[in-house]
Structure 1
């Protein structure tokens, strides 16, 4: 058994390794992905400074908020992928190149977002005819599919391998496919219809699509994005925002891996959590619950409903999901308590 050590001694993820020479030894860190994450971290820092010193706004938010959010998301996901590719697995040459494609296209895509922010204009869906925007739209046209395909193939390769213990495998595989789903859902934004919006200098520019779905459909080229926004995220409070399911899907892998770490830590205090089978079952419940959450926020957004204003149908669906997850956790708990109680009686 090999062990990946987290900062705290309780946080250990164990996985079986094949004999030397089989090509399944632990790999070095994926440098292109780490470089990607480092560059994204620098962009976040620069964007935070920009938000403090640059007063320009786009749709009611700082021009630097978008590169900050994208930089943070890519930094986190890049480190996550680099860690996954370090685990023993077959096909490492292919996965290394896929990780490199993800790293390079990610830098290109987010780099254009930063350039457009500096110019005080929009990156996504911008129909302006100036050369910088036209080149950037071509970058998106090739870069976004590159990110999606690289992640899709990585998920397919990882899915049939035993990278780690069962709870971690469930988190990794489900998380990668949730990320694929989240990326795919981003394409739905392209069907929201055109809108006319103002750049930071006050001039009007056309966007071929946006993030917001208005109940009953958009009217003409009327602006939909930015009419009302939640704090920090700036998700719409006047319509359904497709960025929400996009976000939930992309970051499912981090949520599930954190759940693995938390359950491992709690196992030292709660006997019923000490078996891998129980923790794996809880991860299964977590995956079902998170997938249900993704489905719920997607359904809500497609109906033009803000996250902050759920209707009775959304509330009922959320309550049913909570009951389902609670019932699953309870069933695993009751089943896990029996062997733990039996072991305790035997020891006495």
Structure 2
């Protein structure tokens, strides 16, 4: 976001910087603190304090996502004569997909569970920890949020074409959506049979 924000005219990045540093800094410290005690940070409502802190984590994610959505809106309303149109569209669509799938994290929070078909399964699909046996909502969350980096990089260095950028962005969004639908059906990203073949 720091890279993208410097393209915006008359945009003061200082409030955004401190919002992200302060809020995510607090969240990161809480996650580290809980991990050091062998305690869950996410989905932990075992005490009133943990419940409050977990709720604050959700609120932090919402505030930062809304701020990024506002910046995305600026990319749609401002003109960028010094930038290739395909690159501008990749930033616009990357932020748009990011915002949608950032809010998808709220689905996990509402369910108090990132798995569909089990309770927070972590059967450790490779290094990512995604479930091998049931649906995992973290997959679409991960894919969708990284549109923020993937689409501008692909557009700027590989496709260099506005139509191609829009098509790839739509396909990327469909990929993230399909993994969400698959997870909600209780199916892992790769079937057990394929996992065993890969192993």
Same fold (TM over 0.5): yes
Cα gap change, 1:255/1:141 in structure 2, threshold over 3 Å: closer, same or farther? closer
Structure 1 stretches lacking a partner, 5+ long: 1-80, 193-208, 215-222, 265-275, 311-348
Following the alignment from structure 2 to structure 1, what is the Cα–Cα distance between the partners of residues 35 and 79? Answer: 43
| Structure 2 residue aligned with 1:308 | 190
Q: Which has the higher strand share?
A: 1
| Structure 2 residue aligned with 1:107 | 25
State the secondary structure of the residue aligned to 1:92. Answer: coil
Task: Confirm or deny that 1:120 pairs with 2:120.
Answer: no
Equivalences for residues 207-226 of structure 1 within 5 A: 209-214=112-117, 224-226=119-121
CA offsets per residue over residues 109-165 of structure 1, 9 Å max, x none?
Answer: 12211111111111111012174x355325314312212221221211222223321
- How big is the shift at 1:294? 1.2
8 Å Cα contact 2:90-2:151 kept in structure 1: yes
| Structure 2 residue aligned with 1:250 | 145
Task: Confirm or deny that 1:299 pairs with 2:181.
Answer: yes
Q: Which runs of 4+ in 1 moved over 6 A?
A: none
| Structure 2 residue aligned with 1:159 | 76
- How big is the shift at 1:96? 4.0
CA offsets per residue over residues 254-300 of structure 1, 9 Å max, x none?
Answer: 11122123227xxxxxxxxxxx6xx1121111111101111111110
| Structure 1 residue aligned with 2:4 | 84
| Structure 2 residue aligned with 1:229 | 124
Following the alignment from structure 1 to structure 2, what is the Cα–Cα distance between the partners of residues 227 and 295? Answer: 22
State the secondary structure of the residue aligned to 2:190. Answer: coil
Task: Confirm or deny that 1:283 pairs with 2:165.
Answer: yes
CA offsets per residue over residues 44-91 of structure 1, 9 Å max, x none?
Answer: xxxxxxxxxxxxxxxxxxxxxxxxxxxxxxxxxxxxx0111111x234
Give RMSD over aligned pairs: 2.1
Whose Rg is larger? 1
Structure 2 stretches lacking a partner, 5+ long: 193-199
- How big is the shift at 1:103? 2.8
Cα gap change, 1:211/1:141 in structure 2, threshold over 3 Å: closer, same or farther? closer
Stretch of structure 1 that moved more, 251-260 or 122-131: 122-131
- How big is the shift at 1:227? 5.5
Task: Confirm or deny that 1:147 pairs with 2:29.
Answer: no
- How big is the shift at 1:191? 3.5
- TM score, norm. by length of structure 2: 0.86
Following the alignment from structure 2 to structure 1, what is the Cα–Cα distance between the partners of residues 147 and 135? Answer: 20
- TM score, norm. by length of structure 1: 0.51
Cα gap change, 1:261/1:158 in structure 2, threshold over 3 Å: closer, same or farther? closer
8 Å Cα contact 2:122-2:130 kept in structure 1: no
Q: Which structure is richer in relative contact order (CA contacts within 8 A, separation 6 or more)?
A: 2
Cα gap change, 1:250/1:227 in structure 2, threshold over 3 Å: closer, same or farther? closer
Following the alignment from structure 1 to structure 2, what is the Cα–Cα distance between the partners of residues 184 and 231? Answer: 25
Between the two proteins, the alignment pairs up a number of residues equal to: 190
